[in-house]
Structure 1
Amino acid sequence: MNFEAIKENDVVYRCIGDDFDQGILSCGFMRKRTAERSQYDFRIGYYSCLLVLQGNGRFISKEGTVITMQAGDLVQRLPDRMHSTEIEPNGEWIEFYISIGYPVYHYLKTLGIINSDQEVQPTRRHTNDILNEFAALLNSLKAAVDERLPYLLMKAQELIIRLHGSVHHTQREHNDHKISKACQLIGGANDIHYDIKEAAASRKYGL
């Protein structure tokens, strides 16, 4: 897959259950060519992260801190946290995003996989290596019956974990251990329900 094949807006929104903020499962490619595609004072009740594939912009935190966004950056939209994303209106911006419900976000944050202290983080991810996996998740989510959604939720989590695992960390080995443990927990699960206390205890005692 190449950038030329990405449409202006190729996304899908699904939900597990009736509560959107709790059960959302969404992803997609987005092109943002004009200033009107910027989002100011934006707030959502669930978690979303995006990988900047191409282009530049600015992330403005609720405190007013301005952070440059560029290709290769992982950008997080944290639940109920006001922020703005200002796109450089030169027609270059392309992103792939994944959105998951608040309970899954809380689980990953409890494990230490999601670092909510940094909303924009540079990654080591080579975007060409993961484009096909993004497209596969998008197409699977479009075609899936509702009963299949929990399994695709696990795939979405895997991609989120891998994206966070590619972030530049100062304590690389420690984070690799946490990411490996999270993958083991997800891979061994038969459904989407996790015992957060058990997961946190596993992290605490280095299991």
Structure 2
Amino acid sequence: MFRPDKPELKNKIINEINQQVSNEDFIILIESSFEFVNDLLRTELKNKYNLLSDFALSHGGLIHILYNRNLNESNLQRIEITIDNPTLLIRYVKDNIVFYLAGCHLAPFAENSQRRIEELLIVRTMVPENEHLILIGDMNIREKETKFLEKSDNILGVVDSGDKRKTWYRYFFEPDNINITSRFDRLFFSKNISLDRFELFGKKYNNKKMELLSDHLAIKAQVNIN
């Protein structure tokens, strides 16, 4: 979930996260802050999750990762990206399977399309070619920028989740622009990973009026490593 641009929504966002979370392995917070994550971990969530001590910095705030208390902490490692990159990358071993998980908040604005691809390529170089990789977050990517992912031998070695629903709404800032939306938030993963479930939350309707907790919706996904 994302840090609210309207501070009065913070408690609603925290409540929604608590309602949506069951027993997921990881929670990635984009545009987070120390205050927000501290408040989040004052709720019942603290009984299920620990906060990764490391974080990453992006143009919109911090990237935090919470991991399930049932996971073996000794199998969890942050992978340091020495080049300036708005990504928090970790390596984890579960059931003798190694995988890499990256929370991303890539460069904004249409003119930065090349920079976004470069940011993803930097992450890709940090992960061994044959290892499992999951990339998720606010990619700020436009549809035309990811056409190359349709090729099986694309340079990133990942595929898109395939879910075409919009995840960003200008309506959050400008109620008169209800139809200006985009699919900025993405889930990419290696070809040896399959998607079992992909859900969005953070949007509700009350008396036929749309209510948003943020300009972005949150992704809730379950993947299977083959």
TM-score for the superposition, normalised by structure 2: 0.28
Instruction: Indicate the structure with greater strand content.
Output: 2
Instruction: Indicate the structure with greater helix content.
Output: 1
TM-score for the superposition, normalised by structure 1: 0.30
